[in-house]
Amino acid sequence: MSQNIYDNPTFFAGYATLPRSVKGLDGAPEWPALRALLPDLHDKRILDLGCGYGWFCRYAQQQGAREVLGLDVSEKMLAQAATMTQGTGIRYQRADLESLQLNESYDLAYSSLALHYLSNIDALFATVFEALTPGGALVFSCEHPIYTAPTQQQWIVDEQQQRSWPVNHYQQEGERISNWFADGVKKQHRKLATWINALIGAGFEIVHLDEWGPSEEMVALNPALAEERDRPMMFLLAARKPL
């Protein structure tokens, strides 16, 4: 069973203050790069893994998707998504991605910053691969292994005020505990090679990998993004099921 930290009231309240919670996709600086990896969504059947507030589900609806299924383990997230959603074509459903079973087919599986919470990524990729139509796409973002590697996820500042990001323990995969809005948030660290090989092992073709960082223009508009140019916090990946 996945840790359901998002139903922790303290965590949920803190998460609600993030720009990506308040502004949706426009509050996520990586969104333009992630959007560029997506296929045409018109008339497509779409699966959102860890849908949160449902921002991407509603984006897909606006792009003319035939049907959208948003899955999340958090009842609070799903309730929030439901209150923000109008119209038809979107379903929200509670599901644990660690033990996901799918009995419908999809043209696109999408996930934003959710899969690094899972300990069993091989099973999920196999399940998603089987559910995708031939030529179907998997597009997701995850915390980068450089970001998740250290046991203490924070900058080291030397006497000259130079910042360094530690990558010790990179080769030691497994659970990492972080204190982010609430104590004891469990994430899984795995090497970039492990992510890639898990996809290949499930049958996917790798289409594109982006170790995302902000552009100079983005930093000029939002100086708080400057530190993201010193190490990748996340990676974006597009894969597909062969025809």
3-state secondary structure of 16: coil
Q: Which of 146, 157, 158, 8 is nearest to 77 (CA)?
A: 8
Task: Determine contact, residues 115/124, Cβ cutoff 8 Å.
Answer: yes
Hey, what are 197's tokens?
């090989």
Specify the pLDDT at position 175: 92
Q: H-type helices in 63-188, by residue range?
A: 75-84, 121-131, 145-148
3-state secondary structure of 52: coil
Does the pLDDT at position 20 exceed 80?
Answer: no
Which DSSP state fits 115? G
Length of the chain: 243
Specify the pLDDT at position 236: 98
Query: Please, which residues have CB within 8 angstroms of residue 8's CB and are 6 or more apart in sequence?
Result: 182
Share of the chain above pLDDT 70, in %: 88
In tens, the pLDDT along 25-83 reads 888 899 999 999 999 999 999 999 999 999 999 999 999 999 999 999 988 889 999 99
Q: What is the largest CA-CA distance in the chain?
A: 58
Mean pLDDT, rounded, for 116-140: 97
Specify the pLDDT at position 96: 94
At 1, is the pLDDT very low, low, confident or very high (cuts 50, 70, 90)? Answer: low
d(CA 40, CA 209): 19
Q: Which of 119, 99, 115, 3 is nearest to 51 (CA)?
A: 115
- 104 Cα distance to chain centroid: 22
> Alpha-carbon dihedral of residues 202, 110, 112, 87, nearest 10 degrees?
-160
In tens, the pLDDT along 153-202 reads 889 999 999 999 999 999 999 999 876 555 667 899 999 999 999 999 99
Does the pLDDT at position 128 exceed 90?
Answer: yes
Query: Please, which residues have CB within 8 angstroms of residue 92's CB and are 6 or more apart in sequence?
Result: 51, 54, 57, 69, 70, 71, 72, 78, 81, 82, 85
Q: Which amino acid is at 86?
A: Q
CB neighbourhood size of 64 (10 A): 12
Paired with 178 in beta bridges are 185
- What pTM was computed for the model? 0.90
Does the pLDDT at position 18 exceed 80?
Answer: no
Specify the pLDDT at position 134: 98
In tens, the pLDDT along 67-100 reads 999 999 988 889 999 999 988 899 999 999 999 9
* Domains identified in the chain and CATH numbers: 5-240 (3.40.50.150)
At 4, is the pLDDT very low, low, confident or very high (cuts 50, 70, 90)? Answer: low
Which DSSP state fits 229? G
